[in-house]
Amino acid sequence: MIGTDVGPYRVIERLGAGGMGEVFLAEDTRLRRKVALKRLMPHAVRDGEARARALHEARTVARLHHPGIATVFDVLEGDDTLIIVMEYVEGETLGSRIARGALPAGEAVDLGIQLADALADAHSHGVLHCDLKPANVHLTRGGRAKILDFGLAQLSAKTRASEDTRIASTVHGLSNSSISGSPGYMAPERLSDGPLDERVDIYSLGVVLFEMLTGRRPFDGSNLVSAAVQALTVDPPAPMSIVPSVPAAINDVVLKSIARVPAARYQTAQELANALRAAAGGSVAAAAPPPTRSSRSRGRVALAAALLVVAGTASIWLSGWRPWRSPTRGGAVPTVVVKPFANLAGDATNEPLGVGIADDLTAKLAALPNLAVVSRDVTAAYLVKSPASATIARDLGATYVVDGGFERAGDNLKVTLQLRAADGQVVWKKDFQRPLPQLFALQRDLAEGLADGLDLTLTRKERGLLASESTRDVDALADYSQGRLFLDRRDQKGNVDHAIEAFTRAIGRDASFALAHAGLGAAYWEKYVDTKDAAWTARAIGSSLTALRLDPNNAEVHVSLGTVYSGLGQFTTAKDELQQALVLRPTSDDAHRVLGDVLAKEGKTDDAVREYERAIAIRPNYWQNHNRLAATLMKVGRYHDAETAYRRITELQPDSSVGFNNLGVVLMMQDNLPQGLESLTRAADITPKPGTFSNIGTIHFWNGRFDEARKAYLKAIALSPADASLARNLGDALGGLGDTAGAAEAYRHALDLAMNQWRVNPNDAAVLGLVGVLEAKLGRKAEARTHIDQALALAPNDSEVYYRSAVIAALAREADRAVADLRKAIAAGYSVKLVKRDLDLRGLHDRPDYLAVVNAQRPT
């Protein structure tokens, strides 16, 4: 473009470029002034979202006229062209200035005042920047600061409510599925779905002030997840603790600006500007250079989705790792089942309320140490067929069944409670009634009344537990209940999204509803499982920590947070949370099961099995407890025991694909491919899932039907395009068909996806091992060995990781190492039958040491 005319603008030189566009210096030939041309790349112009974002930026900034904000003059559009004409600012970015060292306190405060004044003007026009950072601030040669790049700007909630504007609807549509912004500068509330206001920019400006004064950010998280964890859990250091010469008054202004809770910050940019002016009235000395920036550990988010078991040349998928909730326990203490309450008035709009009343009663009763409670998660399968109470009690091993009905009439709510013995006979019954605004008192009445009906002697502390408040808003309770219903059946397509919507509605009605925040965190985690988009992990962290802040003594919240920390790879912290949950609720099978998951990740298989068995003892008919136990048994080679557990799941959940998928996997492990294919086909008929199609493809692959395998893998990829294992499997199928170029392309794509997953959680040995296998398939021998050695260091007892190491060695023609690692993999529980089927190991088949390893007798 240099030397050409674009409309009335003559291009002089190229100033820079990014992934989506280029910036040029040009001259406006009409007005004889220099301008900056921001041109989108042609591929970005053709991308509807990128084009909309660029136009949104131009229209947003065009609303603003302030000396501290770079002006937009014009927009030039064509079929493959979009150019924004902006004010040209000579000088350097604030980021470049900070890179040379911390600024003197006086200079930093002066620039902070300028930026706060500019933000105050933008906010007065209803515009939030949402991505303020040093790279987006330009310093003129005269020392003035100008804010650039409003590409992520949004209209405030107040403005959106008062204006019917195309800009607002466009940007809202761009941000539904992910979080945009810069790690380290993003306000903690950006991780939730709540409305944003001016305080998000105040937080970002506070971080910029911190960085100007000290030369570093308060939190050094290099990605969204690690930055989110620190911003949500760690108090920022004081600037004067890093640079002692920072005046105390300025130190206090910065810390207030970056307060974790929005209400604790300055509420407007103008208020921040005034505080900086007042602080600058004292003695402001030049800041000493900061110490060298130290490295920090990055946040880690594990793949909490299906357990991936590498099955030779292709990957086998186990379905169903999920954080579920609520307890029960058999044994000496009474065990109670609380059924959802019937809607006696018949108004369908009130239907979920019966679930909410039962859930709240379940949560209160479950907190009592001398009572075990079965949640509705377990009873749901039975309620489909409307079984008798005696049947439910028999199947769940319950001593009592609680049922009844409710009637909502105007502003009043009447609830009838019934307590039935194991034979179905009513042994106690009572009516309760309160006005709807007294929902909290009604919930307490129900719990205390039922405790009396059970002849429980309660201490003062236990009565306090029954009086604990979940929510006083009846509609919030109904929305929460609806969300739980959807999340409990997350195996059904679309239910996780519906759960998010329901939990969000509940929080909108009652922002202090801790269980709704915990449920939202669990639902966000499921979105990460499905999409591998790290933005969902950040939201899961935010919601879970909000729930804990609201109710630190709620066992369910501790289980939810323990699940998140486990996914982050912070196993010690996860175990602390889960142990705390068990202190608060000893009958929580959820806490035992998730604790088992953590121990399994640490390679402590025996301890993990014990936790799963404790969960099963508490809830013997809950499929997920059997599912996690079976997965661990299969991992250590106890295939027959795992098969028995999976068959039990198909009995407990005959309408769920999970049990049939996992039964198919364990049959594959035992080389029973016909029955395995039959079970997997049934799973796909119930619910089409990427893992199931991948497993079907692997059976075809093993049988030499490479084209059928290719078709199945493509179906899997269509459902989960971001999963590296699926792309790897497709590459194997294409290789089997003789398409070496297509296979290499698939492996390269798989490697890109795997590296993305690894960056989310650098502590994930399984993903790191997959990275190594893909590198080996692409001929990158040294890189593959580096990565697999790192994986072995992370998981020194993991059969899958040793197996992947053997594959990498075989592909590198290091036969001795391959056989040695195979021996370790098989000793740790890897299936010999799968080893024999792996085409990547065919170069070892004639070696006596290989034959000795695979032909050795060991129980399967």
Q: What one-character-per-residue DSSP string does 5-74 give?
A: EETTEEEEEEEEE-SSEEEEEEEETTTTEEEEEEEE-HHHHHSHHHHHHHHHHHHHHHT---TTBPPEEE
pTM flag (> 0.85): no
pLDDT of 737 strictly over 90: yes
- Stretch 465-494: mean pLDDT, rounded? 80
What's the average model confidence in pLDDT over 27-49?
77
By residue count, the chain amounts to: 860
pLDDT for the residue 371: 78
Q: Say if CB 2 and CB 10 are below 8 A apart.
A: no
Report, as an integer, the average pLDDT of 632-653: 86
Between CA 232 and CA 234 the distance in angstroms is 6
Identity of the highest mean pLDDT range in 384-388, 479-483, 534-538 = 479-483
Average pLDDT, the chain: 80
> What's the confidence (pLDDT) of residue 254?
96
Instruction: Encode pLDDT of 526-560 as tens digits.
Output: 888 787 776 787 788 788 878 878 887 777 778 87
pLDDT at 285: 35
Whether 63 and 168 have beta carbons less than 8 Å apart is answered as: no
Question: Quick check: 427 pLDDT over 90?
Answer: yes
User: Domains of the chain (ranges plus CATH)?
Assistant: 92-299 (1.10.510.10), 335-634 (1.25.40.10), 657-855 (1.25.40.10)
pLDDT at 636: 80
Q: Percent of the chain having pLDDT more than 70?
A: 82
> In this predicted structure, what is the pLDDT of residue 629?
93
**What's the rounded mean pLDDT across residues 13-40?**
80
Q: What is the DSSP letter of 860?
A: -
pLDDT (average), residues 219-228? 62
pLDDT in tens, 817-851: 999 999 999 988 888 888 898 889 989 999 999 99
Q: List, in sequence order, every residue forming a beta bridge with 38; answer none if it has no partner.
A: 23, 84
The answer to whether residue 464 scores a pLDDT higher than 90 is no
Tell me the pLDDT tens digit for each residue of 395-420. Answer: 666 789 999 999 988 888 899 999 99
Residues 6+ apart with CB under 8 A from 736: 701, 704, 706, 709, 839
Q: Is 407 helix (H, G, I), strand (E, B) or coil?
A: strand
pLDDT exceeds 70 at position 301: no
With bands split at pLDDT 50, 70 and 90, how would you rate the model's confidence at 383?
A: low
Q: Is 406 helix (H, G, I), strand (E, B) or coil?
A: strand
Q: Which residue has the higher pLDDT, 349 or 388?
A: 388
Give the Å distances, CA to CA, from 476 to 357, 391, 487, 488: 11, 32, 16, 18
- The helix (run of H) or strand (run of E) holding residue 316 is strand 314-318
Q: Once rounded to an integer, what is the mean pLDDT over residues 649-662?
A: 85
Q: Phi first, then psi: give them for residue 297, nearest 5 degrees.
A: -70, 140
Predicted local distance difference test score (pLDDT) of residue 221: 59
- Do 665 and 647 form a contact (C-beta atoms < 8 A)? no
pLDDT band of 86, cuts 50, 70, 90: confident
pLDDT at residue 744 above 90?
yes
The active-site residue, picked from 110, 131, 359, 488, is 131
392 vs 423: CA distance, rounded Å? 10
Calculate mean pLDDT across residues 86-107.
89
> Which pLDDT does position 467 carry in this prediction?
76
Q: Quick one: CA torsion of 278, 283, 284, 287, rounded to 10 degrees?
A: -140
Q: Does the pLDDT at position 671 exceed 90? A: no
pLDDT in tens, 755-786: 887 876 777 888 999 999 999 999 999 999 99
- What whole-number distance in Å separates Cα of residue 119 and Cα of residue 97? 21
The residue with greater pLDDT, 713 or 381, is 713
Q: In the prediction, which pLDDT does 316 show? A: 53
The reported pLDDT for the residue numbered 518 is: 85
The mean pLDDT value for 636-649 works out to 88
Which range has the worst mean pLDDT, 103-117, 286-300, 433-447?
286-300
Q: Which of 474, 475, 472, 498 lies closest to 487 in space, CA to CA? A: 498
pLDDT at 156: 52
pLDDT single digits (tens) 122-170:
888 888 888 899 988 999 877 789 998 765 455 554 444 443 332 222 2
As a whole number, mean pLDDT of residues 204-224 equals: 85
DSSP output for 690-753: HHHHHHHHHHHHHTT-HHHHHHHHHHHHHH-TT-HHHHHHHHHHHHHTT-HHHHHHHHHHHHHH
Residue 312's pLDDT band, with cuts at 50, 70 and 90, is: very low
Rounded mean pLDDT of 631-640? 86
CB 547 within 8 A of CB 515: yes
On whether the CB atoms of residues 587 and 366 are closer than 8 A, the answer is yes
Question: If pLDDT is split at 50, 70 and 90, which confidence band does 787 have?
Answer: very high
Q: What are residue 421's DSSP bridge partners? A: 400
Which of 368-372, 380-384, 385-389 is least confident?
380-384
State yes or no: is 497 an active-site residue.
no
Q: Which residue has the higher pLDDT, 684 or 307?
A: 684
If phi > 0 it is left, if psi is from -120 to 50 it is alpha, else beta; for residue 261 that is beta
Q: What percent of the chain has pLDDT over 90?
A: 31
DSSP string across 190-254: GGSSSPP-THHHHHHHHHHHHHHHHSS-S---SSHHHHHHHHHHSPPPPHHHHSTTS-HHHHHHH
DSSP per-residue codes, 479-490: HHHHHHHHHHTT
